[in-house]
Amino acid sequence: MAFYYTEPSRTFNEFLLIPNLTTKDCTPANVELKTPITKFNKGEQPDISLNIPFSSAVMQSVSDHNMAIALARCGGISFIFGSQSVEDQAAMVRKVKEYKAGFVVSRSNLTPEHTLKDVLELKEKTGHSTVAITGDGTPNGKLLGIVTSRDYRISRDTLDKRIQDFMTPFSSLIYGKSSLTLPEANDLIWEHKLNCLPIVDEQQNLRYLVFRKDYDAHKGNPLELLDGNKSYIVGAGINSKDYEERVPALVAAGVDILVIDASDGYSEWQRDTLQYVKSNFNVKIGAGNVVDREGFLYLVESGADFVKVGIGGGAICITREQKGIGRGQASALIEVAEAREEYYKETGIYVPICSDGGIVHDYHITLALAMGADFVMMGRYFARFDESPTKKLMIGNNFVKEFWGEGSNRARNWQRYDTGGKQGLVFEEGVDSYVPYAGGLQENLDKTISKIKSTMSNCGTKSIAEMQQNARITLVSATSLVEGGAHDVIMKESSLSGE
């Protein structure tokens, strides 16, 4: 007969944290939110960690290259949506990897024989205002000059004017040798008040460009999530259908980590996908989604570097309504976290888990971390910001942004929900909706992080690992939920109102 869980399927709304002793050094300023995203052996460090426990969801309406850049700048990670062509997704990954680096391989190059028209067309295509002029027009050809927007005036120069007639020639450039370190290169930039410093070898061949803006950006964002080349770390979502075509292109584009995005990850298709990636590429990959011990262990034993937890808890997800399948996010996370701890004790391998869905209020994030999540994945939260790829609209008297699920007819991401049947979306598991517009990402994220750190201080913990070990959590009644909010008063408007 069928197996019955006797414990109700519980949500984050049904729990509260109990304070622990807050010592004098346990202040928000001393709370560390760095967290692993890839599995590692006991006593070792993970290959990839996040500086804040946030990832944006694998959704068309949330995670493109702009969101990936903005979130990596703050210390988190985006998984660029996979419900698009392989070429378009790889191009988004490439844009993130090319956006910032200490030593940048020049990606906008022309020869002296090209014209101003070629410069303007290249700028329109790439967005780069600095063009390296090399003998053969390649990134590593002999450097003959540089063109920036200060070298020409569109109102006076003709489009057929040759570059050699208006470029800044090599003889007039301040440049560095290839043996230069990044701090030395930045010193030259500041000393000579440069925006760009070319790095050349002994034969005058261009090796790299170093930009002033990259130095400024890093100083203003100390938690930036960077790889060894000082480029932003970025993830990408894949499915279990076209992975043999998609994964090679994403790896070639420089993706740091993948995740198999599926409504139900407890499947042989995910095992096949994991084993293909692990056998052919040196790239990290997570899997999911699951809601219990069995699903977690299956994916871990199949090779997953992290496991995503949650079915049916997303703001736009109607899987539970349509199919009657899923589990309250808190219950799912608690069971998977217990299974993870048992696996760690038995094998010495720590597998991070990601809580995906069910987060309505900021304190739900802290609860998820306390219950065992190493990081959270959110869609609605990030869809509200300027950096998401959707339109900002005026509905009534309020600004909103569009937000639709990957299981909606609009997304038509049938691969995410495929169970071996007809190749198409037979019924919807997501809705097309709006979310209240909230402004820029960083300001809102800073406020959320402040709440998390304050709560962790109340719990007497200064790291996520401590929180997972020492948090005390209680169930709450329906009446205590009412008691927990403002009640029995007439509210005034407040400029500090939060989410």
pLDDT, tens only, 331-350: 999 999 999 999 999 999 99
Residue 101: is its pLDDT beyond 70? Answer: no
Point out the least confidently predicted range of 181-185, 407-411, 466-470.
Answer: 407-411
pTM of the model: 0.80
Confidence of residue 419 (pLDDT cuts 50, 70, 90): low
Confidence of residue 497 (pLDDT cuts 50, 70, 90): very low
pLDDT on residue 499:
45
Residue type, 370: A
- Mean predicted confidence (pLDDT) in 36-58: 97
- pLDDT > 90 fraction of the chain, expressed in percent and rounded: 70
pLDDT on residue 230:
83
Confidence of residue 3 (pLDDT cuts 50, 70, 90): confident
d(CA 25, CA 457): 9
- Mean predicted confidence (pLDDT) in 412-434: 59
Both tokens assigned to 403: 């937000």
pLDDT on residue 441:
93
How many angstroms separate the Cα of 382 from the Cα of each of 27, 56, 179, 209?
27, 7, 42, 33
Instruction: Answer for the pair 183, 171: CB distance below 8 angstroms, yes or no.
Output: no
Residue 5: is its pLDDT beyond 90? Answer: no
Confidence of residue 485 (pLDDT cuts 50, 70, 90): confident
Both tokens assigned to 424: 């198409």
Helical packing angle, 268-280 and 293-302, nearest 10°? 30
Radius of gyration of the chain (CA): 25
pLDDT on residue 168:
95
Both tokens assigned to 301: 């034993």
Active-site annotation holder among 26, 196, 317, 354 = 317
Active-site annotation holder among 246, 327, 416, 459 = 416
pLDDT on residue 412:
58
pLDDT on residue 426:
56
Residue 267: is its pLDDT beyond 80? Answer: yes
More reliable by pLDDT, 104 or 119:
119
pLDDT on residue 316:
67
What does the mean pLDDT of the chain come to? 90
Annotation marks residue 416 as catalytic: yes
Cα torsion angle, 356, 360, 363, 364, sign: negative
Both tokens assigned to 248: 């090679």
The reply to whether omega before 289 is within 30° of 0 (cis) is: yes
Q: Which of 25-34, 421-430, 471-480 has the highest mean pLDDT?
A: 25-34
Annotation marks residue 384 as catalytic: no
Instruction: Answer for the pair 159, 117: CB distance below 8 angstroms, yes or no.
Output: yes
Could you give the angle at the alpha carbon of 265 between the alpha carbons of 233 and 346, nearest 5°? 80
Instruction: Answer for the pair 76, 52: CB distance below 8 angstroms, yes or no.
Output: yes
Confidence of residue 196 (pLDDT cuts 50, 70, 90): very high
Residue 257: is its pLDDT beyond 90? Answer: yes
Point out the least confidently predicted range of 45-49, 263-267, 303-307.
Answer: 263-267
Torsion on CA atoms 182, 183, 188, 190, rounded to nearest 10: 120
Helical packing angle, 65-74 and 86-99, nearest 10°? 30
Please list the residues that pair with 389 across neighbouring strands: none
Point out the least confidently predicted range of 28-37, 67-76, 239-248, 397-406.
Answer: 397-406
